[in-house]
Chains A and B, each alone.
Chain A
Amino acid sequence: MPDRELPEHIRRQLSAGLDGGAPLVAPLPSQARFATLRGPMPAPRWRLRGLTVAVAAAGIVIVALAGPPQPRQWLVQSVNGISKQVGLPAGSSSPSPSHSESTPGEQGTSNESPEASETPEANESPEANESPEAGESPGEEQEQPDTSPTAEPSDGGGGGDDHSPEPSPSLGD
């Protein structure tokens, strides 16, 4: 579909309005406003910024991977210091990092483990009996007090009623 055309006198009127109102004084490209920005092009600025970021990132990676392991040394030194304060030799403690990194409060609770023999509860354990005849089970000891570790073997089996066995700490309860 053809578009409408303006009559010739209307075209002249349009051209007169546009040309007369805005006389065409085109400045030279060297006089244009953009010519004042011609020093550095934007692209090199972008490249410079990208290059700076790339160099910085590479430096961080190199320091992180190839530099001295400062955080690990600090960790080993601090663990050794803590173990010395507790009194354990540095090599005797468990090599597991969980033990070496435990706080002194946690180490106090580890002293209350069943391996300590002072607590009464620990004496009730079979490991608390130190006699070589302690191969019998604890249940048998409670049912047969004569066979307590404190009884002399030379007394014979019938003398058990004459003297009451010494109340050993394990039978006191």
Chain B
Amino acid sequence: MGAEGEATGAASRPGNRDDFDRLYRENYPRLLRTLYAITGDAAAAEDCVQEAFVKAWRAWPRFRPERAPEGWLHQIAVNTAISYRRRAKLRSVGEILRRLGRPGAGSDPGDAVTRSDVVIALAALPPRVAADFVLRYHHGYNNREIARLEGVSERTVGARLAQARDELSRRLGPDWRGELPTSGTAGVHFPRERSGVSDA
């Protein structure tokens, strides 16, 4: 498991306030980072995480204990971020239509200060691809854990990670393509080799 948001193994009783507080404390950092990578906006990420916990709290009495609560929260949070991105895209299209014929306002200078190229590149990825990339390379989950968390196959996770590395290497440089961690070639870079689904 990753360093952040590590499950303690304690049983989560549906509807129990103390258990939900514990889930909040354990999962908030991981979800905030993941949603920041999806939205590319720290304030929006925090807002989405809070909204996700509100949704989770409403559904908490109906939570099925046989399911991992971390994965349940992750799904709610990612879906909330996807909805946010969809609304933001619609808002941006509306802004473009309103500004037709007027001189361009340019980008927000605050964005250039707070958002790094890495975050901008991550936010340009499909939401679930960005989420898997952050879980894998920032939080330290392996493919099997990500697959279990999201309820998908490991092959799907591998394909998403390969897609993320391809996109990021195009935007940020060939080092983002990664390297194969084989024992004989440890530390050797294969920056120009294309990675595909078979990497999983």
A residues adjacent to B (C-beta < 8 A): 1-7, 9-11, 13-24, 26, 29, 32-34, 37-38, 41-43
A33 to chain B, nearest CB (A): 4
Determine whether the beta carbon of B36 is less than 8 Å from that of A3: no
Q: Are B53 and A18 in contact (CB under 8 A)?
A: no
Size bracket, chain B contacts: 35 or more
A4 and B116 in contact, given A18-B33, A26-B29, A34-B57 (Cβ under 8 angstroms): no
Report Cα–Cα, A11/B175, bound state, in Å.
10
Q: Are A26 and B25 in contact (CB under 8 A)?
A: yes
State the CA gap A37–B114 with chains docked (Å).
32
Q: B15 and A41: CB pair below 8 A?
A: yes
Residues on B with beta carbons closer than 8 Å to the beta carbon of A38: 17, 57
| Residues of chain B contacted by A2 (CB below 8 angstroms) | 180-182
Q: Is B195 an interface residue (CB 8 A)?
A: yes
Which of these, B21, B29, B37, contacts A24 with CB under 8 Å?
B29
Q: In the complex, A29 Cα to B56 Cα: how many Å?
A: 13
Question: With an 8 A cutoff between CB atoms, is B158 at the interface?
Answer: yes
B50 adjacent to A21 (CB under 8 Å) = no
> Which residues of A have CB within 8 Å of B45?
22
- Name which residue of chain B comes closest to A2, CB basis: B181
A37 to B136 Cα, complex, angstroms: 34
Q: How far is the CB of A41 from chain B (nearest CB, A)?
A: 6
- Inter-chain pairs besides A10-B175, A18-B119, A22-B36, 16 sampled, C-beta below 8 Å: A1-B200, A3-B136, A3-B143, A4-B179, A5-B181, A17-B122, A18-B134, A20-B116, A26-B25, A26-B32, A29-B20, A29-B21, A32-B53, A37-B58, A38-B17, A42-B58
Asked whether A16 lies within 8 Å of B116 as measured between CB atoms, the reply is yes
For window 114-159 of B, CB contacts with A under 8 Å fall at 114-119, 122, 134, 136-138, 142-143, 158
The residue that A34 contacts in the complex, of B37, B54, B115, B189, with Cβ under 8 A, is: B54
Question: In chain B, what residue has the closest Cβ to A25?
Answer: B46
* Cβ of B177 under 8 Å from chain A: yes
Cα distance A43–B117 when bound, in Å?
Answer: 45
Residues of the A chain whose Cβ atoms lie less than 8 Å from the Cβ of B119? 17-18, 21
